[in-house]
A and B are shown apart, each in its own frame.
Chain A
Amino acid sequence: KAGVTQTPRYLIKTRGQQVTLSCSPISGHRSVSWYQQTPGQGLQFLFEYFSETQRNKGNFPGRFSGRQFSNSRSEMNVSTLELGDSALYLCASSFRSSEGADGYTFGSGTRLTVV
């Protein structure tokens, strides 16, 4: 089955602009999580959506937002971009195992550069 697909792979934006990133999960997965990866801060959790509802949220400012559609595809939006938003943004698709736990498959990420 197809993996987690993130688009676009690379983006260059100017400070103050906004950006929208897209994630298509593995077919049948209903949960999508977003992470920001930077050399200094590592992998930081942004938010998680399950069946179109935000289930968990990390400690990021309100400029970071997301949503999930009925087909489980998710988008995240960053408004008023700052230089510090330059990062690799990762999406993870999760399922529900027989133990009732979550497993996560990651996409290749979107590399955002803010200039």
Chain B
Amino acid sequence: AQSVSQHNHHVILSEAASLELGCNYSYGGTVNLFWYVQYPGQHLQLLLKYFSGDPLVKGIKGFEAEFIKSKFSFNLRKPSVQWSDTAEYFCAVNAPRNKLIFGAGTRLAVHP
């Protein structure tokens, strides 16, 4: 069965700091990988996705993620965070035509 693990439940950063959120999954076959963001009081929005091809994926708002197949990882990065990045971030995985499974989420708080 698929599962997703997000290493950090809460992260606190100052503006301009670099961000890396860890995500590992367990599934032996081909997977599709996603990062979603949920701003306070808002719905889930897709940040970026990986289906195939270049393992370094660029998303919206300056976010990027790298798929490392050998490590079953899909970590999210941003070189310099802003206060407006305060949100909850979810990593999600699915095998093609299978259900989308979410990690527990990471709450990011960015202080000015």
A interface list, Cβ under 8 A from B: 33, 35, 42-43, 45, 48, 55-56, 58, 90, 92, 97, 99-109
Contacts and interface: CB of A to CB of B under 8 A. Distances in A.
A45 B43 contact: no
B97 A43 contact: no
A42 B44 CA distance: 13
Interface in B25-72: 32, 34, 36, 42-46, 49, 51-52
* Size band of the interface chain B makes with A: 20 to 34
Which interface residue of B34, B36, B44, B90 has the most chain A CB atoms within 10 A? Answer: B44
A105 B99 contact: no
Contacts of B32: 101-102
Given A43-B102, A92-B100, A108 B43 contact: yes
B24 interface: no
Contact of A103 (B49, B103, B105): B49
Which interface residue of A33, A35, A56, A102 has the most chain B CB atoms within 10 A? Answer: A102
Nearest to A100: B96
Given A101-B32, A101-B51, A104-B46, 11 more contacts: A33-B100, A42-B103, A45-B100, A45-B101, A55-B97, A90-B43, A99-B52, A102-B32, A103-B46, A105-B46, A109-B43
